[in-house]
Amino acid sequence: MPRIPAVHPPARKTHDRKWWCPALIALSVVASLYLPAFSLLGFATMATDSCGPDSCPDSVMVPLKSAPYLYLTGAGLALLSCVFPWNLRWRTPRIALAIAGAAVSASVVPLLLTVFF
């Protein structure tokens, strides 16, 4: 009769050697969008010169108010992907969070382009 161990050996936590890749890629995307996004924000605020901030339509003011928050939220999500534990179990959430952060920050450019058209 085979002998069955009474206690299972502890599960070995394997370290993810490339834990930094998703966060680095997402942060490089966010950093490369900084100049285009905030130059568009600067030019888009000039679109409100004719109507003033109080009487502009919502189609102009909502993108202008939400763009900096979207950009900072994306950068925060990309940075948060670094904080997840560095074992293999957390690889998928880390990648998903980095992709979400890059996507949220990348949505600022088309959002600001709607002000011009």
Q: Which amino acid is at 101?
A: G
Q: Which pLDDT score, from 0 to 100, does residue 6 have?
A: 66
pTM for the whole structure:
0.80
For each of the chain's 117 residues, which pLDDT tens digit applies? Answer: 667 666 666 656 688 888 899 999 999 999 999 999 999 999 888 878 888 767 888 888 889 899 999 999 999 999 999 898 888 889 999 999 999 999 999 999 999 998 887
Please report the pLDDT score of residue 96 as a whole number.
Answer: 96
Distance CA 85, CA 91 (A): 9
Q: Which single residue is written with the structure tokens 């009474």?
A: 6
Closest CA to 75 of 13, 31, 18, 10: 31
Q: Which residue from 51, 47, 19, 28 is spatially nearest to 106, judged by alpha carbons?
A: 28
CA atoms of 23 and 101, how far apart (whole Å):
9
pLDDT at 72: 95
The torsion of the CA quartet 51, 57, 59, 60, rounded to 10 degrees, works out to 20
